[in-house]
Chains A and B, each alone.
Chain A
Amino acid sequence: MNEASMIGMLSTTVSFGALLYLACIGELISEKAGVLNLGVEGMMALGAVTGFLVALNTENPWLALLVAMIVTAAFALIHGVFSVVLGAEQVVSGLSLTFLGLGLSAFFGKSAVGNPPGAILANVDWGPLSDIPWAGPILFQQSPMVYFALLVGLLTSFLLTRTSIGLALRGAGESASTVDTAGHSVVKIRLAAVATGGALAGAAGSYLTLSLTTSWQDGATAGRGWIAVALVIFGAWKPGRAAIGALLFGGLLALKTRLQTFGVDFSPILLSMIPYLLTIGVLLAISIRARHRPSASPAEIGQVYRREER
């Protein structure tokens, strides 16, 4: 392994890490508000194809990103309405979103398969910074979405811990009746969180097609939405820890695509299992620690809240 391929791998680690992180933060916001959304894979696929199609037709990558985020936010609200308003089982409703999203993206993306991109999100030019050895190519020759992901992470962290909106949002996931009594609408908070989660999954999807693969094909998301869901748990529902996990999991994804080029004889299939194995390990650690304190997971995640029940 030479220096160039090492730098290449680390750079890909950051790219993939940012992709996972965006979707992960979206899911984290949703789960913090008490809604488990297992539709990330489907939302990401729909965002990917929407972004690609809009870019193809308008040649404006930013418009493509925006439309993709709006479309997936609306798409996520299907889950929101079913699980939050109508009280459907969140696991079932979320899973349906995954299958629906994968199906819709395959259907609408059919004509776009094999097309060159209409426009891409070009890497940000940081001037002299990008010439720094190692750090330049790894950190300063990236898609704008990488910096967007970082910004989203910081903002989310601030929002959750330092604002009254964040307090209410966390409260909705920990004890919905408390938040209701305090005068916030649990339904509104949860719907907003689900929509935000959808928008961020859509952003991750369009990042994939507008910056990373710059093409569309069926199944382009390749299970990355699921890794993002696992990442929320791995990061113990904390944006900071999730960032570390995103880089770790991003590194594993980067390694998987380069194993052959490095000439290492290790099954990429086994490698792609590692994020899930690590997540199970973290779950175990969390549950052991939870013997002495409340678990890191939002206490009322997955539970329907109804007010006038007696």
Chain B
Amino acid sequence: MTSDSSLAIELIDIWKRFPGVIANAGATLSVKKGTIHAVLGENGAGKSTLMNILSGVYRPDEGQVRINGNQHWFHSPSDALTSGIGMVHQEFRLVPSFTVAENVVLGASEKIIRRSLIEKEVEQIAQQFGLAIDPTRPVWQLSMGERQRVEILKTLWRKAQILILDEPTAVLTPAEADELGNVLRRMAEDGRTVVFISHKLHEVTAFCDEATVLRGGKTVASSLKVEEVNESDLAGLMVGSSPVISERPPHQEPGEAMLTIEELGTLDDRFLPAVKNLDLTVKSGEIVGIAGVSGNGQREMAQAIAGLRPITSGKITISGKDLTNAPPSERFTAGLGYVPEDRLGIGLAPRLTVIENAILRCYRNLRKSIFLVSEQAVNYCKEIIDRFGVRTGPIDDPIAGLSGGNLQRLLVGRELSGNPKVVLAAQPTRGLDVQGVKAIQDLLIAERAEGVAVLLISEDLDELLTLSDRLLVMHEGEIVKEFDPTTAHRHEIGAAMAGKRDES
């Protein structure tokens, strides 16, 4: 096979099988030197697996990896690094208690470490590419955006010529994402090659030169010039048909107040105030959207409402019942369905089976004296699977093998099958593929139609504008402004997200 000398990366006919899943089924990828190349695909399309093969984390079952025309077999990530391939994973690989500099030189060859020297060198590389960071700070003090810069610095320190970023903007604010785009552009101009995994189409068209689209583990479109395609073409390739986004539900008069929050105050993980004097009411048959840059107290507010975080002040009532000090189970029985943003952390238990996860909330109703009636549990679980379209393997297998979208359907299904009066959904569609997003959005709309009060916390403004009856903007733990989603302007909402209030 001849190879083109302008290509930095060639992945040819890559196959990778995991127990029960074929992640890559003959995927290919060609990336030109000095370009930013997007790898697009829905969840489960095999993007991450393919990139993990390129960066030496996994070994392919079949297929070739060629770097600068030479075939390579990587046995470990450090093998790949030696060949100049660095990867920034979605979950950062950083040691929180180490300083920035220590994290960067971890894995360096020098036996003795001179602190001041490495700090200076790290600083230099950071400046060269416009990455603002203090090398002496411990990583646990840094924001997500700063941590990502440390990850990029690590690859630059190891002189990587090829940089792979796995959904890098998922943890960034829009401003940080733009800044990242500039850094990547500088690296490409410096002759480095950047592979950018994403499913945010506007970022692909904004940052990237070329795009490769994966679907079902196969490459469906290879090295498309980004200038020559538009976002809906790309979306069409990703799903194989035109993307369907939920439509704005018809207007309906909301009923009486279901969820009332008065003067709520709570602290964050560092014991600093996260939510301050927050008042909020959600009525029956209404979706109230909460917009805001992440880290402005949304997560803490949701946890306080769900009973997972102690509150410092305020009162929480659900359909007239005071639940301020009630444990989470009592809130569930009182009619609160909670879809947490951290699905596998607190929403579902990865090592438990599908059945066990399905009945976690209501196993008390499925028992005879102290024994669980397995027949009832199985039926209950099957009902959720059928009603919410969860695609699973055997239901007595652990849920760890399920895709993100199916995990979320199972979780949402469990929370909705208790016939809640109030649904608290935090980032319910984040990280899902287009069909998954629509399915979850439609479920929320259906709940609204049935008179459920929905509090929707999201970072996706389009989602909020489509679904919400009222849109509240949260900033530094307070509601700074309320909008009517049918008339609101995006830039006004953006200004409120940055802290601009009504009065000023």
Which residues of A are interface residues toward B (Cβ below 8 A)?
Answer: 162-165, 167-168, 170-171, 174-175, 177-184, 291-294, 299, 307-308, 310
Contacts and interface: CB of A to CB of B under 8 A. Distances in A.
Residue of A170, A179, A183, A184 with most chain B CB atoms under a 10 A cut-off: A183
Contact of A184 (B57, B94, B107, B270): B107
Interface in B273-313: none
Contact of A167 (B18, B106, B270): B106
A187 B103 CA distance: 20
B140 interface: yes
Contacts of B111: 163-165
B93 A168 contact: no
Interface string B69-113: 000000011100100000101000111111000110111111111
A37 B201 CA distance: 50
B58 interface: yes
Q: How big is the B interface, by class? A: 20 to 34
B80 to A, nearest CB: 9
A140 to B, nearest CB: 32
A294 B140 contact: yes
A177 B91 CA distance: 10
Given A168-B107, A183-B76, A163 B113 contact: yes
Q: Per DSSP, are chain B's interface residues mostly helix, strand or loop, or mixed? A: loop
Nearest to B76: A183
B371 interface: no
Given A167-B106, A291-B271, A181 B77 contact: yes
A171 B113 contact: no
A108 to B, nearest CB: 40
A306 to B, nearest CB: 13
B95 A183 contact: no
Contacts of A174: 95-98
A132 to B, nearest CB: 36
A162 B102 CA distance: 10
A294 B110 contact: no
Contact of A183 (B18, B58, B107, B140): B107
Contact of B94 (A178, A180, A291, A294): A178
Given A163-B113, A167-B113, A182 B98 contact: no
Nearest to A183: B78
Given A291-B270, A310-B18, 14 more contacts: A163-B112, A164-B110, A164-B113, A174-B96, A178-B93, A179-B107, A180-B77, A181-B77, A181-B78, A181-B93, A182-B107, A183-B77, A293-B140, A299-B97
A162 B18 contact: no
Contacts of A180: 76-77
Nearest to A308: B58
Contact of A162 (B76, B87, B103, B112): B112
Interface in B400-419: 400
A178 B375 CA distance: 44
Given A162-B112, A171-B95, A178 B140 contact: no
Contacts of B94: 175, 178
Interface in B39-78: 57-58, 76-78
A178 B18 contact: no
Considering the complex of A and B, which 10 residue pairs feature the smallest CB-CB distances, nearest first? A183-B78, A182-B107, A178-B93, A174-B95, A181-B93, A175-B95, A183-B107, A181-B77, A182-B106, A294-B97
Contacts of B81: 183
A175 B96 contact: yes
A310 B18 CA distance: 9
B387 to A, nearest CB: 28
Contacts of A294: 96-97, 140
A184 B78 CA distance: 8
B110 A292 contact: no
30 contacts: A164-B105, A164-B107, A164-B109, A164-B111, A164-B112, A167-B102, A167-B105, A167-B113, A168-B107, A177-B93, A178-B95, A178-B103, A179-B95, A179-B106, A179-B107, A180-B77, A181-B77, A181-B89, A182-B78, A182-B93, A182-B107, A183-B76, A183-B77, A183-B107, A291-B271, A294-B96, A294-B97, A294-B140, A307-B57, A310-B18
A177 B102 CA distance: 16
Contacts of B107: 164, 168, 179, 182-184
A177 B103 CA distance: 13
